[in-house]
């Protein structure tokens, strides 16, 4: 039996001389830092990613290894989609904690800087697509009848949406009349 199996595990005070607050931070690109320094050991970063939970009382993000826990800061989302793979007519997403989840195209949303987001872990958290994972979706993208983007997989055409409606394919702008650089 792990200490985390005890019903009061999240309510017990920290060990003497310690705090539940930490300086661990997960940035918007999925990189962990501690005291402002990057967590460079890949095994430690993977462990942190696999320990992410929410505190059952206050909902704040915590790292819980089953023996101890602490709060940490999340800049954007706690999970990231690192890869996409088709299996049996379904797109499977590899998440930053080492788990997989099927893609529910209807839940995809476009967020800041055009990044794709979706709920994961039974809707308890959000994940953001890494740039590599988002680009890998390109092989399943098609244009719908009204110019909207759709995911086409196993004969199904699933629309992609923004908060305001379908994600549209825009016609290229005529840059010849603009002044200055596009960069």
What domains does the chain contain, in order, with CATH numbers?
17-74 (3.10.540.10), 79-166 (2.30.270)
Residue 109: pLDDT band with limits 50, 70, 90: confident
Residue 126: pLDDT band with limits 50, 70, 90: very high
* Separation between Cα atoms, residue 182 and residue 159, nearest integer Å: 30
For the whole model, what pTM was predicted? 0.81
Instruction: Give, in order, the Cα–Cα distances in Å from 48 to each of 31, 79, 83, 107.
Output: 10, 11, 19, 26
Higher pLDDT: 35 or 2? It is: 35
């Amino acid at each position: 039996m792990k200490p985390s199996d005890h019903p009061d595990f999240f309510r017990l005070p920290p060990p003497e001389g310690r705090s539940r607050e930490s300086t661990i931070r997960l940035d918007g690109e999925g990189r962990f830092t501690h005291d402002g320094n990057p967590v460079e050991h890949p095994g430690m970063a993977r462990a942190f990613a696999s320990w992410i939970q929410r505190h059952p009382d206050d909902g704040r993000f915590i790292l819980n290894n089953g023996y101890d826990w602490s709060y940490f800061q999340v800049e954007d989302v706690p999970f990231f989609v690192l890869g996409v793979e088709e299996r049996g007519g379904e797109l499977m997403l590899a998440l930053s904690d080492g788990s997989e989840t099927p893609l529910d195209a209807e839940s995809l949303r476009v967020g800041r800087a055009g990044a794709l987001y979706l709920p994961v872990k039974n809707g308890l958290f959000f994940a953001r697509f890494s740039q590599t994972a988002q680009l890998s979706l390109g092989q399943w993208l098609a244009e719908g009848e009204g110019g909207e983007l759709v995911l086409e997989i196993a004969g199904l055409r699933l629309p992609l949406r923004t908060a305001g409606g379908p994600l549209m394919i825009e016609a290229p702008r005529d840059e010849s009349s603009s002044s200055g650089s596009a960069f």
